């Protein structure tokens, strides 16, 4: 089995609206190990394996350290699974992956396209990571699912970078393409409808159900080489339900990486 490193990236300084995602990694682990659920994914495989190593949490003071930490784990022969953090963490993580996987496809689940050229003057804002990834050529193909906030600028950016945007209003699992290159999955918890995931900074109604995301993840038939779960904001959660949803998604993604 493939070796997998789990890294918690405690960072939310690039959140534009509310902070809190920095607190997420230990709380998602706590839900996972609370005794409320077992450690098997729905395919009957457990994430409790000798090959899965939890490297713990990293408190980030310098944004660019995220790339170094990720690179260290990749260089030790692991695939890397990240618990974020706001969505700005994905750019340095993908930058580190690019050296190992020069041809990478990305599946990005989110209410937002995160394609701003800059946001309030910051090109590394959590509203911008996929613009940085695409302008650097770090992804061959970027497929976005669950989007329901496209404005004129981001629609133009999507066209400029040839992003395949599956807006929520048109969502159909049958239209999601198959991937040919190694795949990275980036799951922003606000891709879910806030009824399923209230613990996010940006409540955007009309989103994906838990089941729709599970079906999407389980439909993937290519090699998943890395993933992140980002934007869980515990300050906004209700009865830890978003932490438990993130823990369930963590299991489903990890078995795809094995
Ligand atoms: Mn996002
Ligand atoms: Mn979002």
- Sorting pLDDT into bands at 50, 70 and 90, what band is 4? very high
Q: Which residues are CB-neighbours of 61 under 8 A, at least 6 positions away?
A: none
Give the distance (Å) from ligand 1 centre to CA of residue 69.
21
Give the distance (Å) from ligand 1 centre to CA of residue 126.
6
Q: Strand order in 164-167's β-sheet?
A: 52-59, 4-10, 79-83, 224-230, 183-188, 105-109, 141-147, 164-167
- Sorting pLDDT into bands at 50, 70 and 90, what band is 12? very high
Check whether 251 has a pLDDT greater than 90: yes
pLDDT for 238 equals 97
Q: What is the pLDDT of residues 52-78, one digit of tens each?
A: 999 999 999 999 999 999 999 999 999
Q: In this structure, which residues have their CB less than 5 angstroms from ion ligand 2? A: 110-112, 188, 190
Domains of the chain: 4-257 (3.40.800.10)
Check whether 240 has a pLDDT greater than 90: yes
Q: Which ligand is closest to the CA of 168, given by its number?
A: 2
What distance in Å separates the CA atoms of residue 172 and residue 6, rounded to the nearest whole number?
31
Report the sign of the C-alpha dihedral through residues 197, 198, 202, 206, in that order: positive
Q: Which residues of 206-224 are buried (b: 16+ CB within 10 A; e: fewer)?
A: ebbeeebbbebbeebeeeb
Q: What is the pLDDT of residues 156-203, one digit of tens each?
A: 999 999 999 999 999 999 999 999 999 999 999 999 999 999 999 999
Question: Across residues 121-137, what is the average pLDDT?
Answer: 97
pLDDT for 16 equals 87
Q: What share of the chain is helix, strand, coil (3-state, %, to 5)?
A: 35, 20, 45
Q: Which ligand is closest to the CA of 90, given by its number?
A: 1
Give the distance (Å) from ligand 2 centre to CA of residue 238.
18
Q: What is the pLDDT of residues 95-108, one digit of tens each?
A: 999 999 999 999 99
Residue 243 in tokens: 């932490």
Q: In this structure, which residues have their CB less than 5 angstroms from ion ligand 1? A: 87, 110, 114, 188
Nearest to 149 by CA among 131, 132, 134, 127: 127
Could you give the 3-state DSSP secondary structure of residue 246? helix
Average pLDDT value over all residues in the chain: 97
Nearest to 88 by CA among 185, 241, 230, 235: 230
Share of the chain above pLDDT 70, in %: 100
Give the distance (Å) from ligand 2 centre to CA of residue 231.
7
pLDDT for 1 equals 82
Question: Across residues 237-242, what is the average pLDDT?
Answer: 97
Report pTM: 0.98
pLDDT for 123 equals 97
Residue 95 in tokens: 């930058």
On whether the CB atoms of residues 200 and 194 are closer than 8 A, the answer is: yes
């Amino acid at each position: 089995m493939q070796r997998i490193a789990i890294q918690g990236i405690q960072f939310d300084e690039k959140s534009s609206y509310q902070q809190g995602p920095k607190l997420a990694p230990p709380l998602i682990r706590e839900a996972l190990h609370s005794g409320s659920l077992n450690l098997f994914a729905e395919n009957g495989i457990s994430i409790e394996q000798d090959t899965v190593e939890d490297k713990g949490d990293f408190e980030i003071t310098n944004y660019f350290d995220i790339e170094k930490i990720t690179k260290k784990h990749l260089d030790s022969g692991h695939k890397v699974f990240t618990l974020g953090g706001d969505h700005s963490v994905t750019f340095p993580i993908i930058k580190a992956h690019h050296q190992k996987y020069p041809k990478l496809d990305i599946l990005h689940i989110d209410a937002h396209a995160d394609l701003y050229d800059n946001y309030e003057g910051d090109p590394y804002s959590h509203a911008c990571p996929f613009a940085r990834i695409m302008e650097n050529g770090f992804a061959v193909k970027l497929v976005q699912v669950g989007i329901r906030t496209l404005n004129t600028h981001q629609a133009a950016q999507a066209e400029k970078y040839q992003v395949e945007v599956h807006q929520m209003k048109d969502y159909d699992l049958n239209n999601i393409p198959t991937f040919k290159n190694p795949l990275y999955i980036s799951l922003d918890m606000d891709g879910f409808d806030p009824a399923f995931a209230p613990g996010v900074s940006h409540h955007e109604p009309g989103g994906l159900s838990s089941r729709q995301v599970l079906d999407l993840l389980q439909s993937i038939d290519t090699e998943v080489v890395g993933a992140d779960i980002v934007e869980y904001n515990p300050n906004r959660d209700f009865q830890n339900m978003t932490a438990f949803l993130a823990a369930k998604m963590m299991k489903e993604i990890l078995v795809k990486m094995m």
